[in-house]
Structure 1
């Protein structure tokens, strides 16, 4: 077996590979840029080598720099992770020439399947059903519009060398095709160093289902079931699960056999994924093959018990698969939620900064038999950089069936603490509670259809709101009693704590009477409803674990003046707890009015200005593109919200802006 391997990647996938290598007794080498000198993968590896500036095209995807690191470390093999150089045939060829093992497929398979145009042709030859589209490269926007019109809208514009949702746009008309072509081309060049673009028909109401394959260099190939990845935003997966709630055994077998046939047609070895889109009648069409480990591989590992990274390493070493197709069984259900450094309240725009708090839930088997797994590449106090993908963790849960796994994920999300940056935990919680998701009636349009105006948080129902008010009242009582003990010890005079309180949840008042008992608290609301609450919460704790009328609840807590900021199941509420007299006076307080920014275009996230499309004095129409800002390898086009006139432009192309910095002003 290999003695030392180098991981040509960063973040959570580098940490993931290191864990398996360590378990196999293999030493690891990390590589890092200036931005990653204090990264978790650097500290986890046995040794680490610096490879350049923060930008990936000056460090992580520069083949010569990786080759120099391999030579300096004496590594015998390289695991590329995903993204970066993982599907770059030139990198695999360079390793082959240097007599260094590539923990991935052969060069020929990467070339055949890594290029989406070639892979579709090969899929057709192998008898795999494919989506209608233009198989040739597209030179310019005019040709893109012509081809899109011939195929028929809507169409998907895609980077030939793309992946991870980068370089992909859906166009519904000529204007969208023209604009999408240029943005896809730019993103592809920045992310992959390859700006080739192709177009295919966009299948409406699709489900995104993929088959995991595993092959060795001795002619053996098996499939390990499927993953459903239909919960996507901007063509990037957000929530995945295995197996799919939609497939029956007949369709699963047919898709698996086609995936294996395609892999064998290109002499594939290592782990790989064949992606399909599936319509409402379970007709499936080949989408692409990813010749690498997938981001969502943990859910397959959880339901099969197979360590895919270990298998990749063994195959690269020349070993035969010891697993036969008949050995593969799908046990239970697994869900993966991708934790992104992006603000759901700002249309999911990237967020950067320091993680002032990062406390994942406890991993491993839980008391109820479910399992929690968290693949991450960050730590509390670490920094989220603007230079790389915004995903900071993959939270996974396993249960005996789908609803059990979903409910386990709800609890895990409730207790996952992240502060210092914008993040999508509230959105993930909202999806887990969404009845359509829980029913399994999902498509890749789920987020667009269910959150057409973006995500603005959830509103707790009447029972949940009352329970949160009870939690706030109980925490206030605990804090008040603690203060009386402290002040009484100092003054020899014990201050009494009242029983009557008014809890205001975002302005809605809940008058109540609270009686503290040894066994907990009994709370009676003004409308006559009653709550019995048990908790061991103490002031300073950031999660309140309690039972409310016998049901467990876990609420994230931050102390604020006169109350608490509470986060629960996608809802962020402020709970102000006042005495009845103070509540009466508080009603007369004048609300603070937010400043008017309606006549300004603000930068929605820290990023680089790629283009300014208008000049001072220009008349602009509603929906017109004003500026393009790039952050975390994604281009974001900012548009006019109404017809107006540009009075001043503050930003320039190539300038780096902070969040809420003024780009331009309007009349």
Structure 2
């Protein structure tokens, strides 16, 4: 067994590998760029080596620097994590030449399966069901249009060396093929250093289901059940679960056996994942094989009890798998939510900045469930524009899917992130969505359910009553603390005001107190808009999370101070609240509303990023839907299009410039 390994990665996956290595008694070496000098994985590792500037192309993607770090520290093996060099055969070969073990498959398997074009050829030869498509290299946009017409629309344009949704576009017509081809090649070139793309048929209403494999160097290959990853945005997975609620035993076995056959065909060693598209009739088609650890591997670990990172290390050290296929059992249900630094209210655009507050839910047992949080950040850390926007992977396990989903909803409601925008509100709303809870899924779920984007949700009558009760309880607890600190405790003979008005957004809710004292912990009956509710909580002023019961409902909500009130976040809702006397509420209704400034004649940069290109010139007439500019942020290119017919006035930005959020790119006449 190795005594020291180097992790050629960063963020949560580097921290994840370090945890297992530490448990196995293996020393670890971290590598870091300028941007990651103070990162969590650097602090956790036994040693750390600086490998260059912030840009990945000058640090994490430079194999020579990783090898130099191994030599300098005496690391015997390298775990690549996912992304970066994890599926680059040349890196594996370079390590072998230096006598350093690659904790992953051999170059033969990486070449065969890591390239999406070659992997489909191998899959077809191994009698694995594949999606119709063109597997040759596509030279230009005109060639792409011809192929797409032959296959039939819609089609998927995908980077051959891609992954994580990078270099991937869906096209429904010739114009989208041309634009998608250019964007996919550009993203593939910047993310993977390889701009080859291919085209295949896009299956309508598909479910994305993948099989986890483990294979050793002694001929043993097993599949560890499946994961469903159908909730995706821009082809990037957002939420995953294991097992799939859609598969039956026969389909699971067929997919598993085909995956094992494919692994044997390429002499695969290590952990790997075979991804399939499954249609509504449970017909499945091979998509690709990821020759690395997957982002969503924790859900498989939770339902199988097998540490995949540990098995990867043991396989690389030459050990046999300690179990056979008959030993693999799936226990309970696990759900994973990817916490991203992106704004769900602005079409999920990336967000960067400092985490002024980062308080994830506690890990471990939570009633009948288990909570796990894989993360690579900490309070005060910086979210950089140079890397993937993932903050954490929150997972819950429970005996049933319904319990795991419920536990995930509560964990998300208590996941506090401040300083940047993030997708926790969206994920929290997802856990309550009827279609998600009923497992009626497809990869088009987000586009279908939120065709105009994810907007702030309006509370229903039940939610309004609960939020009003929470807001008033917090106000009463805060007032009681102020009086206590001033040594002016109210006597029992001096009753509280019993009539209040709670403003939630633009609604005013009448609340009457049915008790006369504020107790610690807080427990009080209230009449909220004609309904009697008992409110119980041990919340204290300053705490970001309110936990308690309103009526018979257990609630976890977040409270953030705003001017003269609180912002309440719960189940995907985000509502501003103010507690007023009836007279103040009467006057408050008369206050004029301040209108936001008119920005209709400006193109604002929607996120901090790099201007890739400007597609128009000053004085040009532009039609609605035409491209104005392309901005790159966190390895993704974002096309900014005209929302209406317009004339370009002044162009303020130039290609190559780095812009802050809301910087003016151009003005319209």
For the aligned pair, the TM-score class normalised by the smaller chain equals over 0.9
Q: 1:564-643 residue pairs with structure 2 within 5 A?
A: 564-643=566-645
Q: CA deviation at 1:528?
A: 2.1
Q: Which residue of 2 aligns with 1:46?
A: 46
Q: 1:53-92 residue pairs with structure 2 within 5 A?
A: 53-92=53-92
Q: Which residue of 2 aligns with 1:644?
A: 646
Between the aligned partners of 1:439 and 1:126, the Cα distance in structure 2 is 35
Q: CA deviation at 1:489?
A: 4.5
Worse-superposed segment, 146-155 or 418-427: 146-155
Asked if structure 1 preserves the Cα contact closer than 8 Å seen for 2:496 and 2:516, the reply is: no
Between the aligned partners of 1:236 and 1:149, the Cα distance in structure 2 is 26
Q: 1:146-161 residue pairs with structure 2 within 5 A?
A: 146-161=146-161
Q: CA deviation at 1:146?
A: 1.1
Q: Which residue of 2 aligns with 1:507?
A: 506
Q: Secondary structure at the match of 2:336?
A: strand
Q: Which residue of 1 aligns with 2:539?
A: 537
Q: Which residue of 2 aligns with 1:655?
A: 657
Asked if structure 2 preserves the Cα contact closer than 8 Å seen for 1:224 and 1:304, the reply is: yes
Q: Which residue of 2 aligns with 1:520?
A: 523
Q: Which residue of 2 aligns with 1:136?
A: 136
Q: Is residue 2:251 matched to residue 1:251?
A: yes
Partner deviation per Cα, 1:414-434 (whole Å, 9 max, x = no partner): 111000000000000111000
Q: CA deviation at 1:483?
A: 2.3
Gap change, CA 1:666 and 1:352, over 3 Å in 2: same
Q: 1:90-129 residue pairs with structure 2 within 5 A?
A: 90-129=90-129
Partner deviation per Cα, 1:136-163 (whole Å, 9 max, x = no partner): 0011111111111111111100000000
Between the aligned partners of 1:61 and 1:619, the Cα distance in structure 2 is 42
Q: CA deviation at 1:488?
A: 5.0
Q: CA deviation at 1:551?
A: 2.1
Q: Which residue of 1 aligns with 2:359?
A: 359
Q: Is residue 2:415 matched to residue 1:416?
A: yes
Q: 1:407-446 residue pairs with structure 2 within 5 A?
A: 407-446=406-445
Between the aligned partners of 2:644 and 2:555, the Cα distance in structure 1 is 44
Q: CA deviation at 1:461?
A: 1.4
Q: Secondary structure at the match of 1:268?
A: coil
Q: Which residue of 1 aligns with 2:229?
A: 229
Asked if structure 2 preserves the Cα contact closer than 8 Å seen for 1:132 and 1:200, the reply is: yes
Between the aligned partners of 2:111 and 2:653, the Cα distance in structure 1 is 42
Partner deviation per Cα, 1:508-563 (whole Å, 9 max, x = no partner): 010111234447111113x4211111111121111111111132111100122332
Q: Which residue of 1 aligns with 2:372?
A: 373
Q: CA deviation at 1:31?
A: 0.3
Partner deviation per Cα, 1:463-514 (whole Å, 9 max, x = no partner): 111011011111111112222333455999x997422110010010101112
Between the aligned partners of 2:485 and 2:121, the Cα distance in structure 1 is 76
Gap change, CA 1:126 and 1:489, over 3 Å in 2: same
Asked if structure 1 preserves the Cα contact closer than 8 Å seen for 2:495 and 2:516, the reply is: no
Between the aligned partners of 2:494 and 2:18, the Cα distance in structure 1 is 57
Q: Secondary structure at the match of 2:223?
A: strand
Q: Which residue of 2 aligns with 1:470?
A: 469
Between the aligned partners of 2:292 and 2:80, the Cα distance in structure 1 is 8
Q: 1:313-324 residue pairs with structure 2 within 5 A?
A: 313-324=313-324
Between the aligned partners of 1:204 and 1:186, the Cα distance in structure 2 is 26
Q: Secondary structure at the match of 2:452?
A: coil
Q: Secondary structure at the match of 1:189?
A: helix
TM value normalised by structure 2: 0.98
Q: Which residue of 2 aligns with 1:273?
A: 273
Between the aligned partners of 2:539 and 2:59, the Cα distance in structure 1 is 47
Runs of 5+ consecutive residues of structure 2 not aligned to the other structure: none
Asked if structure 2 preserves the Cα contact closer than 8 Å seen for 1:481 and 1:497, the reply is: no
Q: Secondary structure at the match of 1:556?
A: strand
Q: CA deviation at 1:63?
A: 0.9
Asked if structure 2 preserves the Cα contact closer than 8 Å seen for 1:484 and 1:495, the reply is: no
Asked if structure 2 preserves the Cα contact closer than 8 Å seen for 1:155 and 1:201, the reply is: yes
Q: Which residue of 2 aligns with 1:391?
A: 390
Partner deviation per Cα, 1:398-457 (whole Å, 9 max, x = no partner): 010100100000110011100000000000011100000100110000000000000013
Q: How many pairs does the alignment contain?
A: 664
Q: CA deviation at 1:581?
A: 1.2
Partner deviation per Cα, 1:249-288 (whole Å, 9 max, x = no partner): 0000000000000000000000000000000100000000
Asked if structure 2 preserves the Cα contact closer than 8 Å seen for 1:484 and 1:496, the reply is: no
Between the aligned partners of 2:288 and 2:530, the Cα distance in structure 1 is 60
Between the aligned partners of 1:212 and 1:343, the Cα distance in structure 2 is 31
Q: CA deviation at 1:34?
A: 0.1
TM value normalised by structure 1: 0.98
Q: CA deviation at 1:592?
A: 1.0
Asked if structure 1 preserves the Cα contact closer than 8 Å seen for 2:96 and 2:102, the reply is: yes
Q: Secondary structure at the match of 2:380?
A: coil
Q: CA deviation at 1:123?
A: 0.4
Q: CA deviation at 1:62?
A: 0.7
Q: Secondary structure at the match of 1:573?
A: strand
Q: CA deviation at 1:65?
A: 1.0
Runs of 5+ consecutive residues of structure 1 not aligned to the other structure: none
